[in-house]
Amino acid sequence: MSSTEYQALIDLSARIGADPALVQAAGGNTSIKDGDTLWIKASGLWLAHAKERDVMVPVKLGAILEAVAKDDPSAEKAHVHVDQALAKNGLRPSIETTVHALMPQKVVVHVHCVETIALAVRADAEQILAERLKGVAYAFVPYCRPGLPLARAIHARMRPDISVLILGNHGLVVAGETVAEADALLTDICQRLASPRRPAPVADLAALSRLALDSSYMLPANESLHGAATDLENCRIAAGGSLYPDHVIFLGPGFMIAAPGESAVEMEDRLSNPPPVLLFPGKGVLVKKAIEPGPLALLGCFVDVASRIPEGARLGYFTPEQNAELLGWDAEKYRQELNKRGPASNDPAPARHWSGYGHLGRARRGDGRGRPGCRQRRRQAFELQRRSPRSRGMAGGDARGVDGRAGRDRSQRRRRHRGRRHVWHGFTGGWKRAAAGAPDDV
């Protein structure tokens, strides 16, 4: 392999890694084959940092392909197949190594392109893709857990001419014999899959500031993130649950939506593991003061994806089992460990995940309801809030003030939950440290 071609892949990796419409946080990965060696991005690192640090790991291509052919579980533990003679950095390969290995082309680029995801989460994705990708040698792969199940599904659909994979509820894979070819194909496919973006109303910053009082939440610096909640269609999509893997990995399953008049501190009181983001329908979002770049990037991804989904489109949400397998899967545990650990962290407690999203998911999933008009939106905002666990347990649901001042009972409850919140911080924390390269060999 020429060093020029390798460097071209590094340049492309850094460029797409810096584009939030293609890659968010540590998601997405690139690879190049050199004989029996597959150089692939390391798990947990950001493509955006490809030029600043060594992010590529050498894997034995033949061994990975043999494991897939034999249905051997080692196929999804790519670190077993690292070529130790070439490995210098002690990193683990991407959890999506099998996807790259199964593509016969030399260069493979996998992105979580928001245009692709906005279509790939729809119930009618296959029909839309057939129109948009006319003339392209592509395969649509319905959602499977990344790892061996996804590898099996790709293996079953591969043909020698296929250079594009659309991964249902996940993203896009393009491949070419050169970096330039893969780059051009990526641009072409993203343009073909582009959809109009629905503009979001501006946030009610004054109301959000009041709702954040006394809590561990704050307004995000990037005001476009409020679009997750100021646009009620986006909020309704959020209420349905999780749509793609990295949402679950970085933000947890689904979203937590405030009840009418409920403040952030009140939400913290009722949640054993307050999530990194809270949605306030019609007003905007609050994020944890300790939020890391990864969850922030995935919040931006949600806004970008949801605002490209037409009103009333039927969507395929993850089931609770699919959420759980993403969070409990060994390779994901590794990512989470990388995420969680920092120089000062010796906390071995596994991340706990809050519950309470299921009822929102069931309310939305596959209901195929008609398009809501503008006049219906205020009513929908109320309905979203009414369905939240907090409001279900209340008589009126709106008797509390929005100033968020904590009373004595609330303070006691917060003290009780403090330990568990600490566990949550462990889960979301650490991406910045991981990206900077501290714990490379977890």
| Chain positions contacting Zn ion, by CB under 5 A | 171
**CB-hemisphere CA count at 13 Å for 231?**
23
Q: How far is the CB of 217 from Zn ion (least distance, A)?
A: 29
Indicate the burial class of 101 (C-beta count within 10 angstroms; 0-12, 13-18, 19 or more). Answer: buried
Between CA 155 and CA 66 the distance in angstroms is 12
Q: Would you say 147 or 227 has its CB closer to Zn ion? A: 147
Q: How far is CA 370 from CA 119, 366, 373, 408, in A?
A: 18, 12, 9, 45
CB within 8 Å of 94: residues ≥ 6 apart = 29, 31, 40, 41, 42, 43, 57, 78, 100
Place of tokens 């959890």: 95
Q: Would you say 286 or 331 has its CB closer to Zn ion? A: 331
Q: Would you say 108 or 264 has its CB closer to Zn ion? A: 108
Q: How far is the CB of 190 from Zn ion (least distance, A)?
A: 15
Q: How far is the CB of 125 from Zn ion (least distance, A)?
A: 16
CB within 8 Å of 359: residues ≥ 6 apart = 387, 389
**CB-hemisphere CA count at 13 Å for 76?**
17
Element (H, E) at 282: none
Between CA 269 and CA 422 the distance in angstroms is 14
Q: Would you say 171 or 294 has its CB closer to Zn ion? A: 171
Q: Would you say 146 or 281 has its CB closer to Zn ion? A: 146
Task: Report the largest interatomic distance among the alpha carbons of the chain, rounded to a whole angstrom.
Answer: 70
Q: How far is the CB of 168 from Zn ion (least distance, A)?
A: 12
Q: Would you say 171 or 430 has its CB closer to Zn ion? A: 171
Q: How far is the CB of 40 from Zn ion (least distance, A)?
A: 12
Q: How far is the CB of 99 from Zn ion (least distance, A)?
A: 8
Q: The tokens of 193 are what?
A: 């899959």
Detail the DSSP E strand segments found in 152-199.
164-167, 171-176
Residue number of the CB atom closest to Zn ion: 171
Place of tokens 């120089």: 343
CB within 8 Å of 282: residues ≥ 6 apart = 201, 204, 229, 230, 232, 235, 378, 381
Place of tokens 């857990």: 145
Q: Would you say 100 or 364 has its CB closer to Zn ion? A: 100
Q: How far is the CB of 418 from Zn ion (least distance, A)?
A: 35
Q: Would you say 285 or 327 has its CB closer to Zn ion? A: 327
Q: How far is the CB of 173 from Zn ion (least distance, A)?
A: 8
